[in-house]
Amino acid sequence: MSTEKPENEEEKQEAAQSEAKAESAPKKAPAKKVAEKAEAKESPAKAKASDEETNSEADASEEKPAEKKGDSVADLLDDGLTNIKIRRAKGSKNITHGVVHVTASFNNTKVSVTDQKGNVISWSSAGKCNFRGSRKSTAYAAQVVTQDATRAAMAHGLKEVEVHLKGPGMGRDSAVRALQALGIIIVSIVDKTPVPHNGCRPPKRRRV
């Protein structure tokens, strides 16, 4: 009797293990099915992503040739610089002899270059050369203004000038010196400051 009890217990243990295996086997099958369903759901999304990547690469390949056809900024600038033409004076093509009119007042200095017929070739003023306030009437401003106007006229072939001065300002002498520094031949200097013959009444004197 004592020998049969252990055998019955061993049989019971084996039966319990077989039942446990039988219960665990159906649990694993649904897990595999769930994984397969998840992969099936993800497969359309992956296919769409791959299609979008191929389409983007195709669009990029089509855009690259279009970029090559366009001109760069440097090319456009070079074309613009080469196409610039110097504007000629009215009624004349090549001007070698001209007249420089210098108007030097107490508040400003203006210079205009014309041909012998009076057609304006170039002009400049202290305000155009970025002088403001009391600096507009200085001798340095007159020098810069004269150089600015004369260089523009030299592009038309200007070599000899007559200088007509008007006004009592400080820029009279500095304008003539600026012309000499640029290598312009000064033929004559004429003072055309208007002098009244008891005409209009002048403004009252300042009380300083």
Mean pLDDT by 10 residues, the chain (208 residues): 53 72 53 54 55 59 48 50 47 79 93 92 92 91 93 89 92 91 92 91 89
Look at residue 16 in the predicted model and tell me its pLDDT. Answer: 73
Look at residue 50 in the predicted model and tell me its pLDDT. Answer: 59
CA distance 110 to 127: 9
Structure tokens at 178: 């600026």
Look at residue 37 in the predicted model and tell me its pLDDT. Answer: 57
| CB proximity list for 17: less than 8 A, separation 6 or greater | none
SS3 of 85, please? coil
User: If one looks up domain 97-191 in CATH, what number appears?
Assistant: 3.30.420.80
Give, as one character, the DSSP assignment of residue 92: -
Look at residue 18 in the predicted model and tell me its pLDDT. Answer: 73
- C-alpha to C-alpha distances, 187 to 79, 166, 172, nearest whole angstrom: 40, 17, 16
Q: Of 156, 163, 160, which Cα lies nearest the Cα of 189? A: 163
